């Protein structure tokens, strides 16, 4: 007797059901590179902003 919820006896092997692991890897790698670049950019901007954080604003003016 065959129950309605039982899996078929002869089914094709699972091939990822249309998913593309290479494209997924490329997407994850691109996101990781973007995150690393943004962190590097934030670090550079923070150093530049730190240089502008002075007690006497007159020191920023040319002589």
pLDDT band at 8 (very low <50, low <70, confident <90, very high): low
Contact criterion met (CB below 8 Å) for 54 and 60 = yes
pLDDT tens-digit series, residues 24-52: 999 999 999 999 999 988 888 887 777 77
60's CB contacts (< 8 A; 6+ apart) are 52, 54
The chain-wide mean pLDDT, for the chain, equals 78
Check residues 49 and 14 and name the one with the higher pLDDT. Answer: 49
Full-model pTM: 0.47
Tokens for 24, please give them: 């997924």
């Amino acid at each position: 007797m065959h129950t309605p919820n039982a899996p078929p006896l002869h089914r094709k092997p699972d091939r990822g059901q249309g998913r593309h692991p290479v494209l997924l890897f490329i997407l994850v790698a691109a996101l990781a590179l973007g995150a690393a670049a943004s962190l590097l950019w934030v670090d550079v901007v923070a150093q530049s902003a730190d240089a502008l954080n002075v007690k006497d604003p007159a020191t920023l003016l040319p002589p």
